[in-house]
Amino acid sequence: MRPFSITFSRQFSSSRTIRYDHILVSDPANGVKLVTLNRPNALNALFTPLVLELNDALKSADSDTSIGAIVLTGSVRAFAAGADIKEMKDKSFADVFTHDFIKNWSDATLIKKPIIAAVNGYALGGGCEMAMMADILYAGENAVFGQPEIKLGIIPGAGGTQRLARAIGKAKAMDIILTGKTFTAHEAYNWGLAAAVFPPTDLVAEAVKTAASIASYGPIAVHAAKEAINYGLQVGLDQGLTYERRLFHSLFATADQKEGMAAFAEKRAPEFKGE
């Protein structure tokens, strides 16, 4: 295994050039950052060096004012086939508990900008959990999801028991997690986990298209909408409705609200500036 490294190269602009070992980063459309998991010889199995690179790339995109949405994907064969067992197998309870092992695997949920997971192939264990951390999940027709940790003598540890149950209900989540069996892209769609299913060759392009559409809107409103939905899932309906209404009210203090409504009245395209 190569040692983990992120190389920073100084440029004349304020942007930074980064060389990653386990992910690829590109800008496939205006306002869109595409992050691709890239461990082809390990079916994109997740391990600490990859997660650290991923977290860095996501935080960088989140702070980049030219980016409005992020697409996270893997290869046609695998989004991420699971966590790298070689990294975990010799760890002790004291080790994982003391260092809160895999806590930072959930840092994607701290990103303010919308993340679309474009899932082809295997999304098992940690890969399934990472896909569920996204705000929108698009699946290729060949996608295979599952939480097979029970077969290893453990349970999901990066949100599998919590997010899957919230997404598809207790009964189906119990059935999947306690048996370790997999489920298909169309099952994920029918159960409400996936927002759409596409042919594998079209998947990333469709995700980028959606991300570009989101990026064309006012970023303050986009952030507020994401925040309102996520907050509402954690509280009761009355609290969620109050929080939504307050965010709605607050947007009337933005220039984007004035521009958006003026453009609608004047029958022209709005020019949002994030102000």
149 is catalytic: yes
Active site residue 83: yes
Distant-in-sequence, close-in-space partners of 12: CB < 8 Å, separation ≥ 6: none
In which element (H, E) is residue 32 found?
strand 32-37
Single out the residue of 69, 59, 57 nearest to residue 24, CA to CA. Answer: 57
Using left for φ > 0, alpha for ψ between -120 and 50, and beta otherwise, residue 9 falls in beta
Q: Is 192 tagged catalytic?
A: no
Q: Which of 149, 207, 225, 228 does the annotation list as catalytic? A: 149
Phi, psi (5° rounding) for residue 242?
Answer: -65, -45
Instruction: Considering the candidates 69, 83, 134, 188, report the single residue annotated as catalytic.
Output: 83
Set 125, 126, 218, 260: catalytic member: 126
Distance CA 128, CA 122 (A): 8
**Which residue among the candidates 69, 121, 129, 211 is catalytic per the annotation?**
129
- Does the annotation count 227 as an active-site position? no
Sign of the C-alpha dihedral computed for residues 91, 96, 97 and 99 taken in this order? positive
Catalytic residue set:
83, 126, 129, 149
